Each structure stands twice: as C-alpha cells, then as structure tokens.
Homo-oligomer: A and B are copies of this chain.
C-alpha cells in the first residue's frame, strides 16, 4: 500500500457504498472427505456470487505468520498491522466492552497468589471461579477509585483474568510487564520502557501494592500481575484516511472496540447473523462503508468443531441474497485470518477473498473456496491492500500522478 499521506491525497468522496463482510477465521484446512470447511459447506448463493466476482487470497501480516485478531482486523481495515501494534491490555479492554480514550492506559491482569515474603506461588490464583472474580473486582473497585490524580477502572473477565484501566493526564506506555513469568519468583513491578512512562509505572505499582493490601485476607487470590500495559495506539480514523463514513455491525465487544479504534460508528447489531443483516438494512442509507463481522466461524474453528463451522458458513450463505438486494457498489467477503478446525486455532494460511463490483474482470469461479480463490485474478496479496482495492472499485480513488 502507498504511504498514508499519498493515499489521503488520492481520496474522492462519492455516494457509492461498500460492504466488507469479515467471516472471522473462515479459511480452513482439509479435514472431512479431504475438504475444507468452505469446500464441505453447501453454499448455493455464494457459489452463484463467485461466478460473477473476482477472487484471490490475502496474507494478513507476513508469510508463515499467524496473526491475532487485532493485527488481522487492522490489516483488512487498511492499516499496516506491524506499524500500528495493539497491546494486549487494549485488546482485553475492548474485548469486555470498555470504551477507551486517549487518556487511558489499560492492562490485562491476573489474580495471583503470593506468600508473606512476596514470592508468587500461583500466577493464576488456582484459576478462581468467575463468580469469585466478580466479587473481588467489586471489592477492589470500591476501595481503589483513584490513585493520585488517576482514575482506576476495574472490570472482571473469566476465571482469574480481569482488566484495569488507568485514566488520566500524562499516562504514557508501554511498561514492561509486572509479572515474574514464573512461579517461585518475587513479585515484579512494572517498569517504564521510556522516560515518558515513569508516571505510569509509579501509578501501576502503587495499584499492585493497594491490591495486595485490600486482598491480604483473601485466599488464594491475594495479589495481582499486570501485563500488556500500553495505550491505545493513535490511529488516523477512516474518515480522515479514506474519506469514508463507516459503520460497524458486530456482535462481540472486541470487534466493536477495534472498529471504534479506527473511527467507525458502532451500530447496535443484536446477537444473531439475522440481527446483523437487519441492522445493515436499517442503516444502509446513513453510511457508505459497512464492516459486517461474523464471529462464529472463528469460534467453532477454535473449538475444532468442523461441522458447526460448516453450519455457520451455510447460515451466512442464506443471507447473501438479502445483502445483494441492497445493491452495494462493492461487496467483499473475506476472513481476517484462517482458523482451521484441524488446528483448533488461528493459523498462517491465507484468507479466501471475493470482490464483486461493476468494474471487475469476473473469474467465473465455480465456488467461494480456498482452491477457487487460488485461481482468482486478484492473486495472493496482503490484507492491507484490500482497502485500496475496495475504494478503487467504488471509484473513490483519484489517479496517482499525472
């Protein structure tokens, strides 16, 4: 992709509409009858669409590299995923639905167990039940509202995990983790990775001591570890960079958070795919770019559940005519990263990518599958180039040079 500055100068605004549907982790590996999830699924509508589209495969970050959801999504949104790194604390905070501001320093936290000599005995406090976690977070929230001039926001996650957001002026990151990494070692305090982060380190370490104090009679969760302590990356918003008025339709908090990060308006999208498509229809007039996120292809991939991943693909297929009924100028279907049920996790395999617009050379592919995408005219390209391609097909980009 060209530099952000060159890119910005090429932007043309018009009324044309783009729908980007990310089927999270949709790419797979052969697992049943030698077929991948997409190959196994019955998808008459996607098949019909494939015949009129152009296709390819995208690489989220680099060859052989398995991306997390953060970088994989940023890339499809048109942002260099290596340049714009998102800390784990930020992602966890987005994941539980916190709205982060530029004054926020979030951290991913564990409840942990220490002895009287401050030796960490269990980095996960025996994986306490979520109910206990909620109770402890409530207790901490009541006792620790502010440290100096910094507001402290504490939210429970699952088992031993919670999130802390430090909100105030002059908080800079990143900090080296306040985590000894191994049991049997002494409590480790956070350390500033640059001089500007000194105030943050002071506040964060005061917090750790206060937690140990508040929880001193608790068992096994009597202290905490903090990791991934860094600020929200300041990313130029999509309206500024691409001239778009973008909206996000997603059901899971993390994806809403990622969308908010790049300046999308996050719509109330309900809980099911049907809800999402309804939201798309209802808001279709108000925006010119829609990010529609399908979560469960990834969830079932992570579970190693081939059959259920196939079912989600088939469910999505049923809504394709509804989406085409809106007559979008550009319609893209792709994944952020692959999540083959065979691997029960994210993988490095490139994502199937389909683009339909009035200005393509259709590939006359038989289906929307990895192997058909491989034959497509878009070839193999980096996810970050998907945005220029969508904008071009919406005639939203001027010539480069004269």
* Residues on A facing B (Cβ under 8 Å): 1-2, 6, 10, 29-30, 36, 57, 61-72, 81-82, 85-86, 88, 91-92, 228, 340, 342-343, 346-349, 359-362, 370-371, 374, 377, 379-381, 385, 387-393, 397-402
6 A-B pairs with least C-beta separation: A64-B388, A63-B385, A68-B401, A71-B401, A64-B392, A64-B389
In the complex, A228 Cα to B399 Cα: how many Å? 15
Contacts A10-B65, A61-B400 given; 7 further ones with Cβ under 8 A?
A57-B377, A61-B401, A63-B388, A65-B388, A65-B392, A65-B400, A70-B402
In the assembled complex, which residues on chain B have CB atoms less than 8 Å from the CB atom of A57? 377, 379
Give the CA-CA distance A22 to B67 in the complex, in Å. 29
A63 smallest CB distance to B (angstroms):
4
Residue contacts A-B, CB under 8 angstroms, 24 given: A1-B63, A2-B82, A29-B361, A30-B362, A57-B377, A62-B388, A62-B400, A63-B381, A64-B388, A64-B389, A64-B392, A66-B397, A66-B398, A66-B400, A70-B401, A71-B400, A85-B401, A228-B402, A340-B359, A343-B359, A348-B392, A370-B377, A374-B377, A379-B380
Whether A401 contacts B1 by the Cβ 8 Å rule is no
Question: Chain B residues with Cβ under 8 A from A81's Cβ?
Answer: 400-401
Known A6-B82, A359-B29, A371-B361; contact A385-B64, beta-carbon cutoff 8 A: yes
Q: A360 contacts which chain B residues (CB < 8 A)?
A: 29
Chain B residues contacting A393 (CB-CB under 8 Å) are 64
Q: Would you call B361 and A349 a contact (CB within 8 A)?
A: yes
What residues of chain B lie closer than 8 Å to A10, measured between beta carbons? 65
The main secondary structure of chain A at its interface with chain B is loop
A71 contacts across to B, CB distance below 8 A: 400-401
A340 to chain B: closest residue by CB: B359
CB-defined contacts of A92 to chain B, threshold 8 Å: 402
Q: Which residue of B lies closest to A78 (CB)?
A: B64
CB pair A401 B2 closer than 8 Å: no
Residues of B within 8 A of A66 (CB): 392, 397-400
User: Is there an interface contact between B68 and A402, defined as CB atoms closer than 8 Å?
Assistant: yes
**Which of B385, B388, B402 makes the CB contact (< 8 A) with A69?**
B402
The answer to whether A63 touches B389 (Cβ under 8 A) is yes
- Checking B6, B82, B359, B387 against A342 with a beta-carbon cut-off of 8 angstroms, the contacting residue is B359
Q: Which residues of B contact A391 (CB under 8 A)?
A: 64
Do residues A62 and B2 form an inter-chain contact, with CB atoms below 8 A? yes
Q: With A and B bound together, what is the CA distance between A340 and B361 in angstroms? A: 11
The interface residues of chain B lying within 8 Å CB-to-CB of A381 are 63
Are B88 and A402 in touch, CB under 8 angstroms? Answer: yes
A390–chain B nearest beta-carbon distance, Å: 8
Query: A201 vs B65: C-alpha distance in the bound complex, in angstroms?
Result: 45
Q: Which residues of B contact A6 (CB under 8 A)?
A: 82
- A346 to chain B: which residues have CB within 8 Å? 399
A362 contacts across to B, CB distance below 8 A: 30
Q: Which residue of B lies closest to A39 (CB)?
A: B361
